[in-house]
Amino acid sequence: MDAVAVTPQYNLTQDQEKRLILREYRSLLRSLKPKLKPGDKELLRTAFEMAVDAHKTMRRKSGEPYILHPLAVARICVEEIGLGVRSTICALLHDTVEDTDITLEDIEKEFGPEIARIVDGLTKISNVIDVNASQQAENFKKILLTLTDDPRVILIKLADRMHNMRTLDSMKREKQLKISSETVYVYAPLAHRMGLYNVKTELEDLAMKYLEPEQYKEIAQKLSETKRERSRYINEFIKPIKEKLEKAGFDFEMYGRPKSIHSIWNKMRKKGVAFEEVYDLFAIRVILNSPPEKEKEDCWKVYSLITDEYTPSPERLRDWLSNPKSNGYEALHTTVMGPQGKWVEVQIRSKRMNEIAEKGLAAHWKYKEGAADESRFDKWFQQIREVLNTQDNDSVDFLQDFKTSFLAEEIYVYTPKGDVKMLPVGSSALDFAFSIHSAIGVQCIGAKVNHKLVPISYKLRSGDQVEIITSGKQRPTEDWLNFVVTAKAKSRIKDALKDEKRRIADEGKYIVQRRLEHLEAAYNQHNIDILTAYYKLSSSLDLFYQVAVKNIDLKELKEFQIIGDRLEPPKPIKPATENKTDSSAAHLPKKDTELIIFGESSDKIVYTLANCCKPIPGDDVFGFVTTGKGLTIHRTNCPNAAKLMANYGHRVVKTKWAKNKEISFLTGIRIVGMDDVGVVNKITNLISGELKLNINAITIEAKEGLFEGNIKIYVHDKEELEELVQRLKQLKGIHTVDRYDTE
């Protein structure tokens, strides 16, 4: 699209401004010309005049008349997204209900319910992302509800965002950062999912321009410096292929296009390489003019001709002809070794496929008879609807869940009968089980992938055939939430865990009732509330649950007073943790009592973990009372332990860990082994990939065929650390693995 005339022109007279607005409007009409039906022009004129009038007193930050914004958004809708007349009317009116005196009723009266509904959807999502996270999730849900209601809402919203990004220069820096990060987080993935690759790459590039200005400038500059050299190379690469295709009688276009700045930067970051080392700075595109019934056949023929000329990389073949992406994308991608030993990506597709690749969802309406593709979008919307209906209202994880479930690339897996299922990348056998049916998900005990037995956490790959194994005795556990990425599986597991908790809590309820009756106190809401508050729990359900699983044994009830039939809690004893002196040891629990550090009573005790030995749950530890700091927790084999115990025995307190999976502790391991290719990869794969532990820092030095690696890592407890050490020792070529204390 040629840039809309939006450069700040503060010095224009009213007449000049009017002429500028009319010029933009006429350009819009010219773009729409092929789509105009009788009566459309009049409707457009009405919408245009309504918008001009509504925004007449408004200006943009750059000083220009506000109406230029809706006009520019309408042009993006038509020229870049391929939308039609009705969407153009909505784009012209998209800010009127929110910012001006025009109401939805006015719009409905003038243009009918369909346009009013879309404008309403656009109004609802105008301030999508709020500072408050739960508000953000709520707003995002509104977007998705309107999306499943009428996808044009999102397409117009993307055009609106695109224009805002193109004119972001006149905004304050903090506003630029907020809008850019929102764009990268939500809008670019949405554009990708709607099949709008050009919109997606431009949004990412523009966001990067504000979020990473230095890197952006550097890559843009290098791209322009290498432009001539690239063009020369592309011509050299294309020449022999062009001759072959012409000889074979194909009607085609062929050209090279540079990769986006954002995707080049991503490659540099992920692979840790410099600009010069990114080999596929551009892709070659072959677009065939083939009739629909011969498209696939022709694409494969072209693939065959290209790979006769240049050797392909077998693992870089992507066949989206046989299995289009769920956003409708169809093409054949291959990477071949071109002249001068350079890898080059080649994309082969027909004209129809190209239009779908560039116009995404909008092009689908044009080719609606392609029912199979249409149903892929419908399936996707259906899945979103399902999740929106079951989602907890306060779910702050919603956005993240949505991104991993619906905005990720997808894989294709097969049922035993050969039906294809589409799942996001990273899905496990358990995700697959839930995608078939919730009842199968909750009873899943394992799976057979390509006839081999695998655990429920097994990560699936495209092309896997999966058979789920179930058992009536199976019950979901908290761990399951770490094995799944799809929103459906997550919400169903949470529901099942709640039900399970209620079932167990019923046993606890019975125990509490018996204990209260034994003490001749009433089993009523007042007494239950008193107990819940006493044990510092958030609900009676938690109280009953903790009693049932024996985390609370109610022995403290002996200290309660019973007045009538009501419980009165004992007066709390202040924890002896402030201003500790030597004499304060007298207030501490006796030597043989056990003090819980984490868990139920963690909030009663002020404690710090000693830096000299970095204890983690499961280590043998003792507490040491320090002046002013409360308790310091040391490992019993700490270098300072003997000194402390010998000289200040009266200050030492026996301590014990309670299980707490919420908190991670930093610890270190030292690995020595044979310096072999891929050894670092094996180690990091095991730690981050299989055991899902977070690495804080890693240094590896190799000399004379041996390597020594120091890894700082976050673990929940000693068991987790021991499992890691055992698993590392089993890796080929590893000699020793020891824990060390991180500084």
List the catalytic residues.
98-99
Phi, psi values for residue 612, rounded to 5°:
-70, -25
Dihedral pair phi/psi, residue 393, rounded to 5°:
-65, -30
* HSE-up (13 A, CA, CB side) for residue 362: 28
Q: At a CB cut-off of 8 Å and minimum separation 6, what does 509 contact? A: 544
Long-range pairs of 521-526 with CB within 8 A, sequence gap ≥ 24: 521/560, 521/562, 521/565, 521/566, 521/567, 522/565, 522/566, 524/565, 526/566, 526/567
d(CA 563, CA 554): 18
Spatial CB neighbours of 99, under 8 Å, sequence gap ≥ 6: 54, 55, 58
SS3 content of the chain, % helix, strand, coil (to 5): 50, 15, 30
Backbone φ, ψ for residue 69 (5° rounding):
-70, -55
- What's the Cα-to-Cα distance from 337 to each of 237, 244, 246, 312, 314, rounded to whole Å? 10, 17, 22, 6, 11
Q: Which amino acid is at 378?
A: D
Q: Rounded to 10 degrees, what is the CA torsion of 231, 235, 237, 239? A: 170
Q: Which amino acid is at 444?
A: C
CA 227/CA 252 separation, integer angstroms: 24
Task: Put the strands of the sheet holding 444-449 in their side by side order.
Answer: 452-454, 444-449, 466-470
Burial of 611 (0-12, 13-18, 19+ CB in 10 A): exposed
Supply 549's token pair: 């699983």
Angle, helices 197-211/152-166, rounded to nearest 10 degrees: 40
DSSP-assigned states of every residue in 320-383: TTTS--TT----EEEEEE-GGG-EEEEEEEEHHHHHHHHHHHHHHHHTTT-HHHHHHHHHHHHH
Q: CB neighbours of 456 closer than 8 A, spacing ≥ 6?
A: 428, 429, 430, 433, 444, 445, 446, 447, 480, 483
Token pair listed for 368: 């609606």
Four-point Cα dihedral 469, 475, 477, 483, nearest 10: 20
Q: What gap in Å lies between CA 720 and CA 479, rounded to an integer? A: 14
